């Protein structure tokens, strides 16, 4: 079964992201607006148990924190993805590093970890440039408090649902 780890920002951030995702993200119906902490991966039952134990340990020592989205950016030309970017990424980078250690060490990631909230993907280059041109002129000043991470699994119909939620208790 495929598992992944994500953070869902507060509702006001999800609502803003979803106003673009509805039209520009084919995964809109499969998973709520989120920030990926660890990419999806196929796990056995044993790997799942080790992951749960590891996440319990990590989240017991990691404090809740806030993120500030301050602009729209893109992964073009690597990927035709638009996203809300963070002003400061240190806390998300630290959380990612802590989560992706021990039994969840992932040496096969094809990208450098860039904390973000996707608002459009799988777009044509023309559509991406058009939307990016419009959105980069807008001012963004959105803060969200993050106090939990979610271990998700992919269902048979391709949607993602929570297997377990871990409160940040540090």
Catalytic residue among 24, 54, 96, 116: 116
Query: Minimal CA–CA distance to 16: which of 145, 144, 151?
Result: 144
Residue 104 and residue 77: Cα distance in Å, rounded?
29
pLDDT tens digit sequence for 22-41: 999 999 999 999 999 999 99
Percent of the chain with pLDDT strictly greater than 90: 94
pLDDT tens digit sequence for 61-113: 999 999 999 999 999 999 999 999 999 999 999 999 999 999 999 766 778 89
Give the alpha-carbon dihedral of 13, 17, 22, 25, to 10 degrees. Answer: -130
- Is position 150 annotated as part of the catalytic site? no
Is CATH 1.10.150.20 the right assignment for the domain spanning 2-167? no
Give the alpha-carbon dihedral of 158, 129, 75, 42, to 10 degrees. Answer: 10
CA 157 to chain centre: 20
Q: What is the pLDDT of residue 108?
A: 67
Catalytic residue among 34, 54, 96, 150: 34
Q: What is the pTM of this model?
A: 0.94
Residue 165 and residue 76: Cα distance in Å, rounded?
32
- Is position 12 annotated as part of the catalytic site? no
Q: What is the mean pLDDT of the chain?
A: 95
pLDDT tens digit sequence for 106-163: 766 778 899 999 999 999 999 999 999 999 899 899 999 999 999 999 999 999 999 9
- Return the number of other C-beta atoms located less than 10 Å from residue 75's C-beta: 16
Q: What is the pLDDT of residue 106?
A: 76
């Amino acid at each position: 079964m495929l598992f992944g780890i994500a953070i869902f920002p507060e509702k006001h951030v999800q609502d803003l992201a979803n106003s673009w995702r509805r039209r520009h993200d084919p995964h809109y119906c499969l998973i709520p607006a989120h920030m990926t902490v660890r990419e999806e991966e196929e796990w056995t039952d044993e790997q799942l148990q080790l992951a749960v134990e590891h996440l319990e340990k990590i989240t017991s020592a990691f404090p809740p924190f806030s993120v500030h989205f301050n602009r729209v950016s893109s992964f073009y030309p690597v990927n035709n993805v638009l996203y809300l970017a963070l002003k400061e990424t240190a806390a998300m980078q630290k959380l990612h590093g802590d989560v992706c250690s021990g039994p969840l060490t992932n040496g096969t990631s094809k990208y450098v970890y860039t904390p973000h909230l996707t608002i459009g993907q799988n777009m044509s280059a023309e559509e991406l440039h058009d939307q990016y041109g419009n959105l980069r002129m807008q001012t963004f000043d959105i803060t969200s408090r993050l106090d939990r991470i979610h271990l998700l699994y992919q269902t048979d119909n391709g949607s993602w649902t929570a297997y377990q939620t871990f409160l940040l208790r540090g």
